[in-house]
Amino acid sequence: MLFPAALVGLFVFLYGVFTLEHCPVSKEICQATDVIMCPICDQYCPYLRLSDSCIYAKVTHLFDNGATVFFAVFMAVWATVFLEFWKRRRAVLAYDWDLIDWEEEEDEIRPQFEAKYSKKERMNPISGKPEPHQAFSDKYSRLLVSASGIFFMILVVIAAVFGIVIYRVITVSTFAAFGWALIRNNSQVATTGTAVCINFCVIMLLNVLYEKVALLLTNLEQPRTESEWENSFTFKMFLFQFVNLNSSTFYIAFFLGRFTGRPGAYLRLINRWKLEECHPSGCLIDLCMQMGIIMVLKQTWNNFMELGYPLIQNWWTRRRLRREHGHHMDSLPQWEKDYNLQPMNAYGLFDEYLKMILQFGFTTIFVAAFPLAPLLALINNIIEIRLDAFKFVTQWRRPLPSQAKDIGIWYDILEGIGILSVITNAFVIAVTSDFIPQLVYAYKYGPCAGQSQSGEGCMMGYVNASLSIFQVSDFEKRSQPRTKGSEMFKEAVKFCRYRDYREPPDSAESYSYTLQFWHVLAARLAFIIVFEHMVFAIKTLIAYLIPDLPKDLRDRMRREKYLIQEMMYEAELDRLQKEKKEKKKKGPAHHKEWP
């Protein structure tokens, strides 16, 4: 199913490549050599020409172009079609393995539960036998403690993200004063790149902690059966990993540059550090870097750990056995060689499921900002299929099979991710990208305002209209740049520009929001509502139109049911005919015995 998604995502990216030379916004940014932008950090960051962000504007267009909205709708529909076709595939597999009508027997009580509550018994209304019973107050007090533990761990993730935010705020000033010109001129990109790498290391470290915490909290709840234990552990692990993996991405998508204030009145962290601003070409480039680096590094690390770790362990085991058995190692029977392989993971296929579910979320939730995500996922999965085959056949012991008619709670998690992806993509297009501001400018403020025509000329002047003017003398003392602009410009800078919709300093309502700001805000809210309702309606319609069972499978099941009924009818008919014949034979004999 990733093939069509990867293909369409690649087409969206190529559309951005082919239309790059005709993009009026990037052209205007590249030609704005006389537009001076305000510094993006306190003191050390210099004034910059808007044209210095030409490359970033072009890269942004590759991901944020006219096809972005279409691709977001397509991926929302794709997620629904994927889940509906998985239902059909599951039905075929269940039928082939004769599990359509198989119902899992009532789970036996876990030994830990039975040992804990063996002294408190009650009569089972179904079996009529006494069984251990957990009191209502005990059960929900344990659930409350477990929920508190989950909330605390989520706060740990938020604290880690907060630490990354502080790192970004401090480092952007450090890089701006760096001695190496390449780093100094690209301080924001260097900050984002190093922050993403640090964030990845934090994610990997917290993942190790989360497994232990999830086990502790699940055992603390004392689930009654094994299936309840598995569902509780699965949900906790997914929630921890999902929040850990996506929290920083949510920050960049929806909070970075949104609450910084304006030059002269910046909002500060702990009344000290100025919050990080977006690049003059927008925040989308930061989101793309975050997704691309995290996705590539995580998939590479997972593949290495899946194959490299058992390879090293098996090599060490063979080395130890050669010391013990010498040259007789090659003469060992195959079953003993297999026994010396690595055992299956204690949680079975749990890690495999979790990895794919997280990848599904990463591929759908922020796909409007990074259309190449399905392609990267497809390449990774093609490689991983072969690595898993090699691992299962040569590096792991053969796992014990067990019956299951579906994937259990994982399907509900997939449906939840599908719903969340619609909401996040609506906000990414409306808030993070410049799609809505450009649309409002084209139809309300641009050269074609009030006209039915549209085209490249209608966007002329958009960049100038999206930048506000700031008087340099209004800077706070701690924000005042150390350079007055004489090193780069012929004269000291008196005015600079920044991304916002505010009145100029010489107006009656200086630095207050303009009417265009409120128009853009209203258009963003309207787009979110319309987009969500439209996509959810399409998803519901598709889910209704696609049956859960393929037609040929449904016909085969009906045919089997018909044949079974025929056989039962014929068997019952034969039985009745035999009884009738026996009665006829016995009838006259009994009649002769009458007196």
Selection from 275, 270, 261 nearest residue 172 by Cα: 275
Report percent pLDDT > 90 for the chain. Answer: 12
Structure confidence by residue, pLDDT tens digits, 540-588? 999 888 888 888 888 888 888 888 888 998 888 888 888 888 887 776 5
Q: Which of 119, 146, 126, 122 is nearest to 223 (CA)?
A: 146
Write out pLDDT tens, residues 508-521: 888 899 999 999 99
- For 381, counting Cβ atoms within 10 Å of its Cβ (0-12 exposed, 13-18 middle, 19+ buried), the class is middle
Q: How far apart are CA 215 and CA 223, in angstroms?
A: 12
Instruction: Report the distance separating Cα 98 and Cα 118, nearest Å.
Output: 37
Question: How wide is the angle at C-alpha 474 spanned by C-alphas 517 and 521, nearest 5°?
Answer: 10
Minimum mean pLDDT range among 85-99, 121-135, 294-308, 427-441? 121-135
| Residue-wise pLDDT tens digits, 375-415 | 999 999 998 899 888 888 888 888 887 777 888 889 999 99
Q: Is the pLDDT of residue 21 over 60?
A: yes
- With beta carbons less than 8 A apart as the criterion, state whether 389 and 352 touch: no
- pLDDT tens-digit series, residues 437-460: 888 888 888 787 766 656 667 778
Residue 183: the pLDDT is 64
Residue corresponding to tokens 């034979």 = 585
* Long-range CB contacts (within 8 A, 24+) of 406-411: 406/90, 406/94, 407/90, 407/353, 408/227, 408/230, 408/231, 408/234, 409/230, 409/231, 409/234, 409/235, 410/234, 410/353, 410/357, 411/83, 411/86
- Between 9 and 190, residue with greater pLDDT: 9
Specify whether the CB–CB gap between 83 and 418 falls below 8 A. Answer: yes
CA distance 419 to 414: 9
Token pair, residue 561, equals 């049911």
Contact status, residue 505 vs residue 474, Cβ threshold 8 Å: yes
- Token representation of residue 118: 């063996």
Supply the pLDDT for residue 486. 45
549 — phi, psi (to 5°)? -115, 135
5 pLDDT band (50/70/90 cuts)?
Answer: very high
Label residue 238 exposed, middle or buried (CB < 10 Å: 0-12, 13-18, 19+).
buried
Higher pLDDT, 594 or 31: 31
Map tokens 């998690």 to a residue: 413
Q: 189 pLDDT exceeds 90?
A: no
| Alpha-carbon dihedral sign for residues 16, 40, 189, 517 | negative
Q: Please, are residues 192 and 281 in contact by the beta-carbon 8 Å criterion?
A: no
Query: In the predicted model, what is the mean pLDDT of residues 46-74?
Result: 84
Please choose, from the candidates 196, 195, 172, 170, the residue with its C-alpha nearest in 3D space to the C-alpha of residue 183. Answer: 172
Distance CA 400, CA 514 (A): 67
Structure tokens at 192: 């984002």
Closest residue by Cα to residue 483 from 43, 51, 41, 172: 43
Note whether 114 and 132 are within 8 A (CB).
Answer: yes
For residue 107, the model assigns a pLDDT of 61
Q: And the tokens for 288? A: 């793309």
Radius of gyration of the chain (CA): 33
